[in-house]
Structure 1
């Protein structure tokens, strides 16, 4: 540790957040896989091409894509913020961050 500096509470919070996000990312990214597979199996809901089930399935697949992209963006944004955040700060700054 640098003399006169203390661990930055904001940095520590971001580290914890990033660990949780990375731990949960796989679960979140796979959240809609089972419903998509079930729709694809044609055993839960069927319709003619262009019918309600087909439209719903396309929308479900798009929602899964968007959910995955959002999760990746959240992890990336948190990583970037952590990278820009100093590990150590003056004691006064540490008090302001807490």
Structure 2
């Protein structure tokens, strides 16, 4: 016998994923901003000039971009897991 909608309970796995996503988003915001002060100093005004300075600024920009992409990928993966997890499950599935 299949449980009816009234027999279903909140999915604890989905709840855990949602809580994890909240925590990850807070940490991602910190990660995304980690290189902003240095990037702002080097990209915004002439702190250091010349070919090596340009190379450094380009490298810093690329690393900042990769960091943000990696952080976004984490959030995206968690969001995908949440979408795949049903909001409600049977009591027996919730106990597993």
| Fold in common (TM above 0.5) | yes
Aligned equivalent of 1:16, options 16, 19, 36 = 19
Counterpart in the other structure of 1:60? 60
Higher mean displacement: 77-86 or 14-23: 14-23
Correspondent of 1:48 among 50, 55, 79: 50
Does residue 3 of the first structure (1) align with residue 6 of the second (2)? yes
Partner of 2:35: 32
| Gaps in structure 2 of 5+ consecutive residues | none
What residue is the counterpart of 2:85 in the other structure? 85
For 1:31 and 1:57, the matched residues in 2 are separated by 15
Unmatched 5+ residue regions in structure 1?
none
How many pairs align? 92
TM-score by length of 1: 0.75
- Cα offset for 1:59? 1.3
Q: Given the two structures, how large is their TM-score scaled by the length of structure 2?
A: 0.76
Structure 1 position 66, deviation (Å): 0.9
More helix by share: 2
How far residue 20 of structure 1 moved from its aligned partner, in angstroms, is 1.9
* CA RMSD between the two structures: 2.2
| CA distance in structure 1 between the partners assigned to 2:32 and 2:50 by the alignment | 29
